[in-house]
Amino acid sequence: MNSVSPSAAQYVGGVMQDELAEHRRQQPLERQGSFGLRAAQTPDPGREATVEPDEMDKLKAKLMSAWNNVKYGWTVKSKTSFNKISPVTVLGHSYLLNSEDEVERFRWAFVSRVWLTYRREFPQLEGSTWTTDCGWGCMLRSGQMLLAQGLLVHLMPRDWAWPDAQQLTEVDFEVFRPRSPARAAGVPIPSFGSPRGSNTPEKSLTSDQAPKCSQRKRLESVRDRQAEPLHRKLLTWFWDQPPAPFGLHQLVEIGNGSGKKAGDWYGPSIVAHILRKAVAKTSVLHNLAVYVAQDCTVYKEDVVHLCDLSLSQTPPDPSSQAWKSVIILVPVRLGGEALNPSYIECVKNILKLDCCIGIIGGKPKHSLYFIGFQDEQLLYLDPHYCQTMVDVSQANFSLESFHCSSPKKMPFNRMDPSCTIGFYAKNKKDFESLCSAVSVALSSSKEKYPIFTFVEGQGQDYGLEGHSSNHSGPAALILPPSNLSRSNNRRNSDEFVFL
């Protein structure tokens, strides 16, 4: 997942072993680490150290930071092509890009997602010399984006869109109609805007010429503008400063409980547990909980005990209807060393659900945040872009770096099988609907065994400590729902093998 990571990390099955060899060739500074720089972990007793270990670590961190800042500090803009005749799905919403209105709707939906990327020049992470997460923090950033989407649907008005999305004006996608014998003349399709810095003025439309979607957005703009203070407040929670409840400093500190530290690679399963701990720890959210599924199983009774506040009352109040909203995270493995094609249709159906808040995983060497698809390609947000830390303590801090105007796609067959799927339910009724809708989506798989399942009852709480980097428990077998066992063995979902 990480192109340049300062410590050893491999996927189960060795899907990252080729990357190891590649970077040993490309980066002479990393010759002594199995996947990065932590070369001074075992000093040679037969050689006198000419530099203090702490100074050596600082020097290496600076060298790595400099390299990663250069590598991820720039990007080549390229257009992503979208098909006019196939719908694009984005987190439960569908867009057929055969008209200006639909392109506009898709544009607003994509740009309004929160985009969290590598940052540099933030305060040093405790217990390390790191002031950037370039090259190693991509999975944490993907997890932040997944949580941010959950918070958007939890706190913001339904179908909220960022009112200032229009200011991101890069030309970064195009719509085309595949060749066919009877190709009809298509409606002219606008891009996301004009190139940033272009001297060509944009044409302004009169009220009669403006797309209907723009007119509709004008009606909603008052509501969305009123929600802007909450939008800004939400982004401050992801600030790269120690006090921020969901910032990198807090997530790394929580990860220390599982033996992880700044510079290590984080898998999608452990990030799910880190997010759960972060939400439980903070005081900024009192009516939201995070549940992490165990062994590809969502235990309904566990969710009820987590969310039903009447159960914690002494004595219980039968009339109480208090219920916490819940984000459900399900770590899964969709195959062995590569994605099992039989699960592709199932993943598509999951991304079509309103209750889905995305998938964190990626492709080998890169963690990505998947938010939709078109045909046989996934739509994603990429954290692999290094930006300077934004001081969100300022009243009118810039929002531009927290929203992406470049939709990108990749084929399903390049998706790494290890991932975590996220869902959101606002109340008990929504949770029951979620269980029903997701179960139907899971049944679309051609495989005998579903990706995961919902069952009644309770499960064993493994917690974050069960995902220690030193843990090497046996691989778990995915069994049919009727044969699910509640083993007391602690197992990492990244080790799951589908029969």
The three state secondary structure string of 118-139 is CEECCCCCCCCCCCECCCCCHH
Instruction: Pick the catalytic residue from 138, 355, 419, 435.
Output: 138
Single-letter residue type at 302: D
pLDDT value, residue 408: 93
Residue 459: pLDDT band with limits 50, 70, 90: confident
Q: Tell me if 143 is assigned to some domain.
A: yes
Say how many domains are in the chain: 1
Residue 139 is part of which domain span? 76-178+187-195+208-495
Average pLDDT over residues 377-389: 95
Query: Model pTM?
Result: 0.75
Pairwise pLDDT comparison (32 vs 117), residue with the higher score: 117
Q: Tell me if 468 is assigned to some domain.
A: yes
pLDDT value, residue 416: 95
Percent above pLDDT 70 for the chain:
65
Q: Tell me if 54 is assigned to some domain.
A: no
Q: Is 250 exposed, middle or buried (0-12, 13-18, 19+ CB in 10 A)?
A: buried
Place of tokens 């600082």: 58
Pairwise pLDDT comparison (20 vs 411), residue with the higher score: 411
Q: Tell me if 56 is assigned to some domain.
A: no
pLDDT value, residue 447: 77
What DSSP letter does each residue of 57-126 carry, written as one string? HHHHHHHHHHHHHHHHS------EEEESSSPEEETTEEE--SSHHHHHHHHHHHHTS-----EESPPPPT
Instruction: Pick the catalytic residue from 382, 404, 416, 419.
Output: 382
Mean pLDDT of the chain: 76
Instruction: Give the CB-side neighbour count of residue 199, counting CA atoms within 13 A.
Output: 0
pLDDT value, residue 52: 53
CA 416 to chain CA centroid, nearest Å: 14
Beta bridge partners of 215: none
pLDDT of 36 strictly over 60: no
Q: What is the pLDDT of residues 81-103, one digit of tens each?
A: 898 999 999 999 999 999 888 98
* Choice among 95-109, 134-148, 152-166, 191-205 with the minimum mean pLDDT: 191-205
Q: Tell me if 66 is assigned to some domain.
A: no
* Contact in structure between 120 and 107 (CB atoms under 8 Å): no
* Contact in structure between 362 and 142 (CB atoms under 8 Å): yes
Percent above pLDDT 90 for the chain:
52
Give whichever of 100-109, 299-308, 462-471 has the largest mean pLDDT. Answer: 299-308
* Choice among 210-214, 285-289, 413-417, 442-446 with the minimum mean pLDDT: 210-214
pLDDT of 468 strictly over 70: no
Per the annotation, the verdict on 138 as an active-site residue is yes
Average pLDDT over residues 458-476: 52
Q: What is the pLDDT of residues 478-493, one digit of tens each?
A: 333 434 433 333 334 3
Pairwise pLDDT comparison (306 vs 22), residue with the higher score: 306
pLDDT value, residue 25: 38
pLDDT value, residue 486: 38
Q: Tell me if 379 is assigned to some domain.
A: yes
Q: Tell me if 84 is assigned to some domain.
A: yes
Residue 465: pLDDT band with limits 50, 70, 90: low
Instruction: Pick the catalytic residue from 231, 249, 384, 467.
Output: 384
Q: Tell me if 215 is assigned to some domain.
A: yes
Average pLDDT over residues 124-147: 95
